[in-house]
Structure 1
């Protein structure tokens, strides 16, 4: 029969093993990185900017599917230079042409610019990247597998 001290040590050992296991689990998250090493972690986002020719807002909705980024929809106000055209999956909502895209990317390279107001939208909160990343600096958006511990730590910093 185990003594109370032995039972307590056994429970502590089990707790430590479980904690180590949980903290070592790696989950896929979307990460944005730029030159000075800062990162934002998220699972889906919108990318907004002002089109350089049309001078109208353009919005893209991205989601993580497994270890890939998927451009799900794009929203724009006018057809013009660089605008995709496909009648299938195209609707109009609140003054925007909305297109279903479903295009997969390993990573996105964003050139940040104050001129086009490069902005990320996370959970309806806008993060104007152009305000704290130098103009014409490149940011990379990709999926990384990070440990739960890393995600918790990044969330606290």
Structure 2
């Protein structure tokens, strides 16, 4: 009997170490893209997000009725606007972009590098708002009610938050 108990006793410290390491891993903070209702705080989505990941927000401009696409990069918990693409140059278009060119029928503005803590917009099915993280469509249509005030932000939260979400 003693021969069998010794290996079991040797396994207990290893199992305890693995359990502690697993717990630490689960509670280490990682970066998430979070979509929330700006007024109620209700969460519409939580997605793992890597440093330097690309985020694209697109919609149809309410005045011009033309497509608008903004591209951001994640830096820490900030969103850095890097590019804006518009089909027409009118109301609301930033004229201060360092580089602008016409590319395939789009006015493309590069080199902006404007920093945001969060993106804010009123979600509209009519405007066709779309949000992509990398190549993944985050499907706002099935997550967010029409005319909801939306905030998109980057937060560091324990890894387990993304697992139980």
Say whether the fold is shared (TM-score over 0.5): yes
SS in 2 for 1:102: strand
CA RMSD of aligned residues (A): 2.1
SS in 1 for 2:25: helix
User: Cα distance, 1:18 vs. partner?
Assistant: 0.7
Retained in 2: the 8 A contact 1:29–1:64? no
SS in 2 for 1:62: strand
SS in 2 for 1:52: coil
Aligned match of 2:45 in 18, 39, 50?
39
Aligned pairs, number: 153
Aligned match of 1:145 in 138, 141, 156?
156
Given the alignment of the two structures, is residue 91 of structure 1 paired with residue 97 of structure 2, yes or no?
Answer: no
TM-score, reference length from structure 1: 0.85
Q: Deviations over 1:28-79 (max 9, x none)?
A: 2221113553214253421111111211100011221001111111111111
With 116-125 and 133-142 compared, the bigger mean Cα shift is at: 116-125
With 86-95 and 67-76 compared, the bigger mean Cα shift is at: 86-95
Aligned residue in 2 for 1:129? 140
Correspondence list, 1:36-115, <5 A: 36-43=42-49, 44-86=54-96, 88-100=98-110, 101-115=112-126
Note the residue ranges of structure 1 that are not aligned, 5 or more in a row: none
SS in 1 for 2:160: helix
Retained in 1: the 8 A contact 2:122–2:149? yes
Note the residue ranges of structure 2 that are not aligned, 5 or more in a row: none
Show structure 1 runs of 4+ deviating over 3 A: 122-128
Alpha-carbon separation, structure 2, partners of 1:5 and 1:42: 38
Retained in 1: the 8 A contact 2:35–2:43? no
